[in-house]
Amino acid sequence: MAQFKVGLEIHTQLQTLYKLFSKSPNTSSVLSTAPNTTTSFFDVSLPGTQPLLNKECLLKTLKLASSLNCEIPSVSSFDRKHYFYGDQPLGYQITQHFHPIARNGRFTLLQKHNLKLDKDLIVRIQQLQLEQDTGRSIYHNINSNLSNIDFNRANIPLVEMVTMPDFENIEQVRAFLQNYIKLVQMLDVCSGDLETGAIRVDVNINVVGHQRVEIKNLPTISAIINAIKYEAKRQTQLVKTGQVPNDIETRGWNGKTTYHLRSKETNVDYRYVPDMELPNIKLNIDSLLPKIKETMPPSIAEQLNHLMDTYKLNTRDARILFNSPPLSLFFQSIYENVNPLHRNKVINWIVHEFLGALTKSEVVFSPDIITLESFTQLIDNVEAGNITKSNGKLLLLHLINNKEDQSRPILELAQEFDMLSSNTLDIDTLVSTVLSNNKKVVDEILQGKPKKINFLIGQCMRESGGNIQPSLFESKIKDCLKQK
């Protein structure tokens, strides 16, 4: 496949109390809101109404711009982007075309923090602009040209971010989108939901040396990735056959293929003009930005580095904790309370055994699912050899589903269920019996298939009722095999 470049245009709905230029409530995150119930006179463009900038929208845009390391000018302004469509009652959209609120940013993706990246990547941000969203057309019949208009979304604040074409493969795009969504959630800027339209993404893609194609209507990360894959193959084939057009093209996505919407000749002339009803935004950058940065959490990279360095975690486990702050706090509490000799085992207990037990029990995580004391006792007793790992997993599942037993000492509970480790059983006799009953497996091990020993260990564990540590069986089996 030919080398291609990808750039993104991301529209992010801001989570604010009110809309961008009116006092209408911003209900973008409430899907059950009845149509046309959160609108003001300005939202539906009644004559004589005027816009008034919501400063909360400005503040959240500046937080995002600062986190993306953008240059923020002391003066920015609003413009009118003219087009006529049913869901745009003004006949124009208020946006920032000539003097946006931020430019020339960058977002760094480190390979060590992103499992599928083949190298570090710096994504250049061309600009951020603050603008109003449109209304929403509702088609009740897919074959009809008739639609109703819901103006609840009209004038909801948007930040449009335009990246440079710095992506060279789909894993870079995926990693950037995942990190961007986490960033806006972390900053309390946006809910981050693509499915509800809180974030909407357009893709610009071109085979190197040829005109770009813009793909619209991409509702999810999987749709974005699949559209890029399809379009890269389509453009590569066009290059091979010499059919690549010279004009910039806009295409849609129907879930399987991209399709033509319009070409450069039919692009709309938006006739941008400065908005004469809105004054310039004037900022004292030197005093304002330090105050904004004080309200922001540590960056994604800083938080991942803290988890990986402090607790010696790999990227995957650090990401799991980072993506769920309550789970991360839960892990840290367990880590601090277990025997220091067992701390390196805590992450496995949390992200594998504990989350796995929750899935089996069809229970959603919350910090009060199991008490801190009960869980730390369980980990310490299993890792000390008092309870086997297999029995420890069963006890964890029991504790999650029987909260009344979480107040009891773990050893008492294990004794009641006959789950205490026992080293008094005749291990020699038990191993000898298993070897005698599985001569074919023994021969395979002796002939160069050492992994088959795990089968014998499993048989020994079953015969012992899981009450002997598997490491004891492994050692005894190996001793016996050396004598053969």
Token pair of 19, please? 């809309």
Instruction: Indicate whether 281 pLDDT > 70.
Output: yes
Closest CA to 26 of 66, 60, 77, 68: 60
CA–CA separation, 207 and 235 (whole Å): 7
Closest CA to 92 of 217, 278, 265: 278
Average pLDDT estimate for 474-480: 83
Mean pLDDT of the chain: 91
User: Hey, what CATH topology would domain 427-483 get?
Assistant: Arc Repressor Mutant, subunit A (1.10.10)
Q: Assign 268 a pLDDT band (cuts: 50, 70, 90).
A: low
pLDDT of residue 61: 97
Instruction: Indicate whether 353 pLDDT > 60.
Output: yes
pLDDT of residue 474: 83
Full strand arrangement of the beta sheet holding 273-274: 92-95, 79-82, 273-274
Average pLDDT estimate for 74-99: 93
Strands (E), 288-336: none
CA–CA separation, 103 and 65 (whole Å): 8
Environment class of residue 408 by beta-carbon count within 10 Å: exposed (0-12), middle (13-18) or buried (19+)?
A: middle
Average pLDDT estimate for 329-342: 96
C-alpha distances in Å from residue 385, one per residue of 357, 455, 470: 21, 22, 10
Token pair of 152, please? 């609840």
- Determine which helix (DSSP H) or strand (DSSP E) holds 127, and give its type and residue range: strand 121-132
Contacts of 39 (CB under 8 A, 6+ apart): 24, 151, 152, 154
Q: Assign 483 a pLDDT band (cuts: 50, 70, 90).
A: low
Token pair of 183, please? 């960033």
Q: Assign 293 a pLDDT band (cuts: 50, 70, 90).
A: very high
pLDDT of residue 128: 98
Closest CA to 133 of 189, 89, 67: 89
Closest CA to 228 of 261, 196, 202, 199: 202
Average pLDDT estimate for 271-281: 96
CA–CA separation, 248 and 232 (whole Å): 15
Using DSSP's 3-state secondary structure scheme, residue 273 falls into strand
Q: Assign 102 a pLDDT band (cuts: 50, 70, 90).
A: very high
C-alpha distances in Å from residue 335, one per residue of 88, 339, 373, 410: 54, 9, 12, 18
Lowest-confidence pick of 33-47, 59-73, 264-278: 264-278
Closest CA to 365 of 351, 379, 378, 377: 351
| Residues forming CATH 1.10.10.410 domain(s) in the chain | 427-483
pLDDT of residue 484: 63
C-alpha radius of gyration, the chain, whole number? 30
Q: How far from chain centre, in Å, is Cα 146?
A: 37
Average pLDDT estimate for 214-232: 93
Q: Assign 424 a pLDDT band (cuts: 50, 70, 90).
A: very low
**Cβ(273)–Cβ(84) under 8 Å?**
no
Closest CA to 173 of 318, 7, 320, 323: 7
Give the percent of the chain with pLDDT over 90: 68
Per residue in 167-221, pLDDT (tens digit) is 999 999 999 999 999 999 999 999 999 988 899 999 999 988 888 999 998 989 9
Find residue 123's DSSP bridge partners.
107
**DSSP letter (8 states) at residue 298:** P
Instruction: Indicate whether 426 pLDDT > 50.
Output: yes
- Determine which helix (DSSP H) or strand (DSSP E) holds 226, and give its type and residue range: helix 221-241
CA–CA separation, 403 and 371 (whole Å): 9
Token pair of 7, please? 């750039």
**DSSP letter (8 states) at residue 285:** H
